[in-house]
Chain A
Amino acid sequence: MAEIIKTNRRDFLKLAATATGGLFIGFYWSGCDSPKMQVLSNEEILAKATDFNSFLSITLDGDVVIYSPNPELGQNIKTSFPMVVAEELDADWSRVRVLQAPLDTDKFERQLTGGSGAMPHSWERLRKAGATARHLLLTAAATRLEVDKNSLTTEKGVIYHKSSGKKLNYGEVVLDAAQLEAPDEVIFKDPKDFKIIGTPIKNVDNQEMFTGKPLFGLDFYREGMLHAMVQRPPFGMKIKSVDDTEARNVSGIQEVFVYDNNVALVGSSTWPIMKAKKLLKISYEPDGNVESTADHDRIFKELLDSKEARVMREDGNVDVAFKNASKVITSEYQCPFLSHSPMEPMNFFAHVKEDQVELIGPTQTPDSARVQTANLLGIPKENISVEITRLGGGFGRRLRADYVLEAVQISKKMEAPVKVTWSREDDMTGGAYRPAVRYRFSAALDEEGNMIGYKLRGVGMNAGNSVRQDNFPSGAVENVLIENVNYESSVTTNAWRAPITNFLAYAEQSFLDEVALEVQKDPVKFRLDLLQKAKNSPVGSVNYDVDRMIGVIKDVAEKSNWGKNSNVKQGFSVYFSHRSYVAQVANIEMENNQPVLKKIIASTDCGIVVNPTGANHQVRGGIVDGMGHAMFGNLTFENGLPKQKNFDSYRLIRMKEVPEVELHYVDSGYDPTGLGEPALPPTGGAIANAIFAATGRRLRSQPFVEQKEYSDMNLEIRRG
């Protein structure tokens, strides 16, 4: 059904003729004082040209330019956002050009990439932008043609009056449309009439990416710009002394200086700085806990038994349930620290001038970078501009502005424009990791094998809350106790793609598999029975939609022929995170007594699929990412420093290590939710459960390849 949507008076519309004779229609989400449109003169536009950033503009020729406000790091938002605007505008996609908008929170509000939240936040706003423009163009055309607006139709940027055979393209009426007032309400298309949404539109940056055009932060150069790198201390250490004599002697080095426990090296190009950095002689002394992985392992065990823990959820009475249980199962699962390791290392450009700062580079959170810069320098944030480049991956690491502030501090000291580049070694040893976590699960079972009690305690290293207390199976069990203990480690941590759930899901789904098999129930039926209970007689409140979770479970069971082929050993996993539901089945086939991981089948409910290519990328990529880190990823510490410093020792998944991946979507009809994260959490559990089904070995720690249970199973990974 087509929907009538009230336009918020704050959704201010602004139109202006451009210097080249075109026209901008600017949709401001907030912060504007007048709901009326303005037509600006060419001079005014020229004056504003550098900071005029709106959702869309239409030229007199009918070309459409759409600005994409959110940082693009591979989640495809730069393509999918404009698709939504173009859909409601009924634009000709071949005439749409997409530009990255710089930071302007007054206009765009949420300019952040994280939490798979961009699409849910902006879906209605983007549709409104397109629908409002279409409404104005139709109104202008009706006046021009002297016909009723309702007798007009649009298709691919052209307005048709069927009975007279007259037509006008959008460019022909855009100047008239600029004179109109924004409507109070607009009509959204019926989703069944979508022509752009739901089609595989290609990435708008393909040509630039595949021909090597400068797109990424590290590709930014400016005449007179200095290059810089920073040597940071090990965790829990501070600088005792620095001998930079040899470093300063490297040709091309301009300055070496100590600031905030770091040593900065500045020069005219990158290579001399990389060389000089290796020649620094820095001695450090302890300044807090200097930790090693052995310390973390010991602390995990102590805190799992500690009397002090924060209760995150309590239903019924677990003590009674566990006392009355006919069987109790307890298992522990552990995950290591992980590096984000986007292919493009951290880097940023800063030019600190007298009272202005120019920032350019890859950040998931430009506003936070700006605010932190303003606080550091004690200047108003309005004096700071942020230009967002394409990001060569992020995975959460670029939610932190530490590397932006480095560029700011060095630029200020050098009184020159500076680009800070992190080497791969800097990137891997520079902190803000996925936290290491250890979990203890316990299930109390009655004589019929029903789970009458469920306990979970998570202990995390700077993990904040390492549990998700309102996730499944909460709601389906009468007696529940979920606790969290956070240890303040000197090793810094940060959000890492699907924070917490990237490991919790594997641990929980493996444990539920253990319980199901213990009570001799099929793992899929075991979960469906629990969900039925959560639906019929829910215990407490939960954050997931029971029917949508059942939907993906049933779909993946059907698509994977779950349990129907005894030659295929299958592992099941399902998880709800970041508003989307993903169920997965991993298939292991036995060939000459050797287990071969051949395929992962996924069923996803993310509501309406905006761009099938983009959705497949995110789900398939999430599965490959989840698998790679579950199998291989490990960052261990010795005396406050990671032992793994580059890709020779920190193992990332490669071409020959991926199984076939088969993707399905459940058409639930809900508004779209994000997909950058939700497909990753279930993968480790699906693989671990398949490995158990095939070999009888239960992998309770990651990375799998480093567990002794794994060492002699000869698991092969092969596509068909």
Chain B
Amino acid sequence: MANYNLRVNGKKYEVDVEEDTPLLWVLRDHLGLVGTKYSCGIAQCGACTVHINGEATFSCVLPVSSIGDDKVTTIEGLSEDGDHPVQKAWNEIDVAQCGYCQAGQIMNAASFLNKNPKPSFDEIDEAMNRNICRCGTYHKIREAVALAAKTK
């Protein structure tokens, strides 16, 4: 066990965990931030997507020991009141079915739009292809990303 000082959503946290503990489980089991979801645990589905210094990252395979001073942002910290343009677009398009994958989808989309504010549909599909939605909301996800790009 070792102590790690983390910066998550602008707050400082200290956790005492094994060095190989994935950030996902630190967030969920130790910091009470359960918006970041577990689904595959092997970086295949994107449900666990967070931002590390703004970059969409799979937290299920990211050991806590590798984070250091990097800034972690989770769905809980994406905006103050849930009013990030991507969150607003997700509501406007009414994207979700079961909703379990959507936090990861939103985090991926938000990071993607920061880098590519005016994407084509093909670029949206390419960027969002790393997140699985078992309910099949892909059409609405594309629509919502396009809307967020327009309203940003």
Seen from chain A, the residues whose Cβ lies within 8 Å of a Cβ on chain B are 73-76, 200, 202-203, 205-207, 209-216, 218-219, 221, 227, 251-252, 269-272, 274-275, 341-345, 390-395, 421, 423-424, 613, 617-618, 620-625, 628, 646-648, 652-656, 658, 661, 719
Contact = CB atoms under 8 A, between A and B. Distances in A.
Contacts of B101: 343, 392
Interface of B: 1, 17-18, 20-22, 25, 28-30, 32-42, 44-45, 47, 74-76, 78-79, 82, 87, 90-91, 94, 96-103, 106, 121, 125-126, 128-129, 131-142
Contacts of A252: 18
A209 B41 CA distance: 21
A104 B138 CA distance: 36
Contacts of B42: 424, 646-648
User: Which residue among B36, B94, B106 has the maximum number of chain A CB atoms within 10 Å of its CB?
Assistant: B94
Interface centre among B37, B40, B121, B133 (most CB of A within 10 A): B40
Given A202-B94, A207-B82, A270-B25, 7 more contacts: A205-B99, A211-B79, A212-B34, A343-B37, A624-B138, A646-B44, A655-B141
A529 B71 CA distance: 66
B18 A344 contact: no
B98 A73 contact: yes
Contact of B136 (A209, A213, A271, A623): A623
A214 B138 CA distance: 24
A159 B76 CA distance: 41
Given A271-B25, A647-B44, A655-B128, A212 B138 contact: no
A254 B92 CA distance: 47
23 contacts: A74-B99, A207-B82, A210-B82, A211-B35, A212-B75, A214-B34, A216-B37, A216-B100, A227-B29, A269-B17, A269-B25, A270-B29, A271-B21, A342-B100, A344-B37, A390-B99, A392-B99, A618-B97, A624-B136, A625-B136, A647-B40, A652-B132, A654-B138
B103 A212 contact: yes
B32 A221 contact: yes
B40 A251 contact: no
A275 B41 CA distance: 12
Contacts of A343: 37, 39, 45, 47, 98, 100-101, 132-134
B8 to A, nearest CB: 12
A613 B94 contact: yes
A270 B129 contact: no
Contacts of A648: 42, 44
Contact of B121 (A393, A394, A719): A719
B18 A655 contact: no
Contacts of A719: 121, 125
B97 A209 contact: no
Contacts of B78: 211
A221 B34 contact: yes
Contact of B135 (A212, A390, A393, A424): A393
